[in-house]
Amino acid sequence: MAVTFLGVRHHSPACARLVRATIERLRPAYVLIEGPADFGARLGELLLGHAPPVAIFSYHRDDERVRASWSPFCAYSPEWVALDAGRAAGAELRFIDLPAWHPAFGGLRNRYADAERRYARATERLCRTFEVDNTDVLWDHLFEIDGPVPDDAVPDDAGPGNTVLDNTGQEGGGLAARLDAYFDLVRGEAEAGPSDTAREEYMAAWVRAAEDAAGDRPVVVVTGGFHTPALKALAARGGTGWPEVPEPPEGSTGGSFLVPYSFRRLDAFSGYQSGMPSPEYYQRLWEDGPDHAAAALTETVVRRLRERRQVVSTADLIAARTLTEGLTRLRGHRSPARTDLLDGLVAALVTDDLDQRLPWTVRGTPAPGAHPAVAEMVAALGGDRVGRLHPDTPAPPLVHAANAELERLGLDRGGEMRLRLSGADDLARSRALHRLRVLRIPGFTRLAGPETGADPVLEERWELDPPDADGGRLPALIEAGAYGPTPRDAAAAVLEERTAAEGTGMGPLAEALFDAALCGCAGQSDRIAETIAAGIAGSGDVPALGLALDTVLGLWRHDRVLGTARGSASSRVAHSGAGTGSARPFSGLFGLR
């Protein structure tokens, strides 16, 4: 039986519908999905029953730093739908892409980032042909607003589409054929780099092995459309068995965990490289279709504006709907597209002159200073949904250690807290909070406290949010778990990374050492002291050096509260600094001779 290749755009409802319809029709033996192969043995975790958006968070740690990346899924992601539909059809599921730490990704933080810069020439020409502003508008025009997948959209075999896109995007074959034509065009004019080649050769090896193992049953392959033309050619070479899953290089560690994600992190308007902005719009499109999505989001925009005391009358609402319908017909759409909705809202609700382009006419993060009504429109279509993990989802040790420590120290509640650092219990609470601050865990804000080791202030004030008040604490803890199993270990590793990254920047190095003291990590990490000492020794900035040594010597000579007085870390830094040429003038002043 032939292999069916489905080239998709990540986070596309139209592609997700095609994937679901194809799997339901073919009931394949295998469903192969572009995803990290080293997570393949744990695919059951993705099927526990989470509420998306969620993501696979992958990390790789060596002696220098931690590298992190995400593979995000929302309800309408084709990869997510492939997992669900494949399981329902009784197929064996496989992730077939290289692990996130592999050099082929070159530090890429988002596995599903579109490669549109690599095929800009083709898409720019298509945008000119269809008279649209950018590839997001082009994609909606060609693929997203056709409604349910028609019968002829589901391919019967693995043959590539032999049709071309016309000037409406509505004819020339079913959805699968039009997707094939689109991706054949953009890949044919793009230059695939070595990273693409490595990934595609690896994925093709999985395809060949699955085809051999499936016998006379179908195989469905779901990957980014940019890769599909190459995979079809590579998979035709014949297979030699299932490929091995690469291991991290010797001397390094890596791992993956599921994390709750959010529409804000998914939104291209917030800087995410998915190529699909306005995730709430596409969620509504996925659930209810374009007509209901446009009506519901029009009401959402109006409600948001009214909540911010902007006058929007019933007549304005009627005008917005009327203008949206008119733009839909004018642009040849059967139902309102995203920009039909947004342009109709602007035309009805914004009467002021706009001094910058509308955000949806360009790619990327909107420029500051957008009209308040326009900003509300972008926010409404972006949405505020936050995913939830199933309670049985495994988590890294740091999550359990941090939550246990917060509960033990009475820090697992909201409100303001005053800590007397001269008391052992409050000092332990202070150190726990500073470790979470260094790890950038939201919900722990220091309002006041000592600024240097010699500071006579013996009290701190903190503002604590209720646990996961905004849904951000759990994903932050999971992601911080890449640095270590306990808050103390993880904070020390983060501070090591900070000091290594700062080089000879005296101010940041001194801050890192003071943070280490606040966290109770100053004596734990020799690397922090060694890095700061080397930075001081190599610095020629005498004023900055004086300030840094003032901080270091304050910790060494006077700090009894944080426990660094005469400590080995600050002593090593102070003495090594005083022995350098640039620091020697300070040695007598601070009594180090």
- Mind listing the pLDDT tens digit for each residue in 383-411? 999 999 999 999 999 999 999 999 999 99
350: tokens are: 């914004």
Distances (CA, A) of 432 to 427, 453, 482, 486, 556: 9, 18, 18, 10, 22
Residue 138: both structure tokens together:
């082009």
Distance CA 144, CA 14 (A): 5
pLDDT at 503: 60
What's the pTM value of the predicted model, to 2 decimals?
Answer: 0.84
The answer to whether residue 510 scores a pLDDT higher than 80 is no
- Give the chain's end-to-end CA distance (angstroms, integer): 83
Lowest mean pLDDT among 111-120, 150-159, 476-485, 547-556: 150-159
Of 103-107, 240-244, 292-296, the range with the lowest mean pLDDT is 103-107
Q: State the average pLDDT over residues 444-449.
A: 94
- Which residues are within 8 A (CB) of 216 and not within 5 positions of it... i.e. 6 or more apart? 1
Question: pLDDT at residue 536 above 60?
Answer: yes
Q: Which of 366, 318, 379, 369 lies closest to 345 in space, CA to CA?
A: 318
Average pLDDT taken over every residue of the chain = 83
**SS3 state at 163:** coil
Which position has the higher pLDDT, 311 or 590? 311
Asked whether the predicted pLDDT for residue 5 surpasses 60, the reply is: yes
Please tell me the distance from the alpha carbon of residue 487 to that of residue 506, in angstroms, as a whole number. 26
Residue 167 confidence class, pLDDT cut points 50, 70, 90: very low
Q: pLDDT tens-digit profile of 176-187?
A: 999 999 998 888
At residue 268 the predicted structure's pLDDT band, cuts being 50, 70 and 90, is confident
Q: Which band of pLDDT confidence, cut at 50, 70 and 90, is reported for residue 150?
A: very low
pLDDT at 124: 85
**Residue 104: what residue type?**
A
Confidence bin at 64 (pLDDT 50/70/90): confident
Question: Which of 136, 146, 148, 135 minimizes the C-alpha distance to 169?
Answer: 146
Q: How confident is the model at residue 169 (pLDDT cuts 50, 70, 90)?
A: very low
Give pLDDT, residue 165.
Answer: 41
Q: How many CA atoms lie within 13 A of 270 on its CB side?
A: 14
The dihedral sign for the CA sequence 98, 102, 103, 106: positive
pLDDT of residue 586: 37
94/510 Cα distance (integer angstroms): 48
- Euclidean distance between CA atoms 488 and 303, whole angstroms: 46
Torsion, Cα 388 394 400 401, to 10 degrees, reads -130
273-312: pLDDT as tens digits: 666 899 999 999 999 999 999 999 999 999 999 998 888 8
317-331, 332-346, 417-431, 534-548: lowest mean pLDDT where? 534-548
Predicted confidence (pLDDT) at residue 488 exceeds the cutoff of 70: yes
Query: Does the structure show a pLDDT above 60 at 482?
Result: yes
Least confident of 18-32, 92-106, 149-163, 191-205: 149-163
104: pLDDT confidence band, cut at 50, 70 and 90? confident
Residue 252: both structure tokens together: 């390094």
Lowest-pLDDT choice from 55-69, 246-260, 444-458 = 444-458
Q: Flag the least confident range among 13-27, 118-132, 395-409, 558-572.
A: 558-572
Least confident of 76-85, 90-99, 118-127: 118-127
Average pLDDT of 348-358?
86
